[in-house]
A = this chain, B = another copy of it.
């Protein structure tokens, strides 16, 4: 877990900064959303999270694991595979990722309507 700073200003704004540090960035929410639906291997995520590069995926997975949102388990197949799974704590983000995805879906509709 990363240590947090403490400054004297609006708690809500600080809290939002914290969240964006953890799940902000281009890919993290997508990764979490994927893993909320089912556990996945590295290569599956690489395919599901459209557009992510291997480097970013492994870096973000490391971050998410560090923040205890997901778990990593090496499966002793030949060759090895690695299973990523949402943690109990991580699943407290499920509602949030759902809301984000749903807002995005509605937004798409709106865009396609207004731009014909």
Instruction: Please list the residues of chain A having a beta carbon within 8 angstroms of any beta carbon in chain B.
Output: 1-4, 7, 9-20, 22, 24-26, 29-30, 33-34, 48-51, 89, 92-93, 95-97, 99-108, 110-112, 114-115
Contacts and interface: CB of A to CB of B under 8 A. Distances in A.
B18 A50 contact: no
Instruction: Name, among A3, A18, A114, the residue most crowded by chain B CB atoms within 10 Å (CB to CB).
Output: A18
A97 B15 CA distance: 11
Identical copies in the complex: 2
A111 B51 CA distance: 32
B101 A93 contact: no
A99 B96 contact: yes
Contacts of A100: 15-16, 19, 96
